[in-house]
Structure 1
């Protein structure tokens, strides 16, 4: 529920002065989108590498936290989680393209399992609902998508990065447009 309350002059001026932050986010997002569309394999590897850095950092912090006074979780589970994070992070940093393809393969298996589950569910409830064929179709498409991703994980990675790139490009362009709208509030 939106209200059309007028902004105070000071708030309007403050928001208007920060237009460049919105513009900067938009430019960075649009550039990321273009780079992802121009070279999706490289961007997929870069994203995997960045996630690897985060996983290593989380593993280190997890190990430190596991031996603190208030871990909040069993020390054994915390150490196990930290070691898995470290292992994943190191592998992602050392070979980001291979790890990106591995992540795609995990997603592919998930698509297949969830597709089969949808089909089974639709068959079980076909007496209770109308148009169960839509659930079955969704399940079949999930199985097909998963199979295609398993057959060609790098192609799956490239398609995923292209979709992310298109989204980032559209988001960036909208942010750039919004920045110039917000800029008018400062005057």
Structure 2
């Protein structure tokens, strides 16, 4: 007969009692994933709206921090940051779909710039590395993806949100399975 560690048993019991929290996260994640897959524009707008609320809160906190005498950065830059945060937040809350499309546009420009830089890098180091064509191909794909996203930002938003939804769906399912496994620890 083996001896059981009383501390391990107490920890297992405690973890087992909180299984429902993990289950709740799993259910919410699964529901969000399904919404993002089947209603990507609404889900993208919801994400942007939530980020807008966070930006408004950040702007307010930053404006309050301007009055702190031990502010680690210049007051001018802090005021600019606070006002930009408030402006972005209000715009995101007032019109989340347009702001989500703006996010996609910024991401598209980044894809294009990083793609061009990968191509240049691959050409410059082609004598030192093998299969530089893979780096060139990844750069070309980045430029193409960025171009497509610039051409149709809403379509880019929809695709990005669907991918986020797929990830959330798998995460949620794994959380639900884990919750029921953890539930057994409470027994």
- Structure 1 runs of 4+ off > 3 angstroms? none
* Equivalent residues in 2 for 1:64-75, closer than 5 Å: 64-75=64-75
1:94-149 alpha-carbon deviations (Å, 9 max, x no partner): 11111110110010000000000000000011011111111101100000000000
Separation in 2, partners of 1:140, 1:82: 38
**Structure 1 gap ranges (5+):** none
What secondary structure, in the 3-state scheme, does the structure 1 residue paired with 2:100 have?
helix
The equivalent residue for 2:15 is 15
* Equivalent residues in 2 for 1:72-91, closer than 5 Å: 72-91=72-91
1:152 and 2:157 equivalent?
no
Shift of 1:92: 0.6
State how many pairs are aligned. 183
Shift of 1:72: 1.4
The equivalent residue for 2:48 is 48
The equivalent residue for 2:133 is 133
What secondary structure, in the 3-state scheme, does the structure 2 residue paired with 1:11 have?
helix
What secondary structure, in the 3-state scheme, does the structure 2 residue paired with 1:63 have?
helix
The equivalent residue for 2:175 is 175
* Equivalent residues in 2 for 1:118-129, closer than 5 Å: 118-129=118-129
**Structure 2 gap ranges (5+):** none
Separation in 2, partners of 1:25, 1:113: 37
